[in-house]
Amino acid sequence: MTKQPNSPTSVTDPDAREKLHIARSLLGGYAAVSVLTLLAIVVFSGNAAMVTEAVWIRGSILAVASLVTFAIGVSMARGSRRDYRRVRLIAGAQVVAIVVIESVPGAFPVWFKIENGVCGALLVIVVLLTFARSVRTTFAAR
């Protein structure tokens, strides 16, 4: 019986396993920060200086996207090649989006830019971990 291209791969390399575990944990942190941010948006929604329409939109999208990314990251850490590729693509795209948001002056309040910076830092580390040689080798096409 041949292995399907999207079936989980056994992660036998201890270095790759550790990096995937750390990446999964960081994605969990990203999800937690994003959900807590959405809760803060709800709590402070009466303060127009703190919570703008743009904050509502971006914060809501981030909360949902972070939960989806975390779920995919869990599957990646279990050895899913397809989800490994997805995490690399999604995390990289999210980092680019965060850099754009951070660079637009006045688009978001400072507190929200700080939150986005924290999320961006977590995602940059995830990207670096998923591009590590041991991880790439684990998911290389066979």
Those residues whose C-beta lies under 8 Å from the C-beta of residue 100, and which sit 6 or more positions away, are none
pTM: 0.89
Could you report the per-residue pLDDT of 97-139, keeping only the tens digit for each?
A: 999 988 888 889 999 999 999 999 999 999 999 999 999 999 9
Q: How far apart are CA 102 and CA 104, in angstroms?
A: 6
Summarize pLDDT for 23-72 with one digit per residue, the tens. Answer: 999 999 999 999 999 999 999 999 999 999 999 999 999 999 999 999 99
The answer on pLDDT for 142 being more than 70 is no
Domain positions in the chain: 14-138
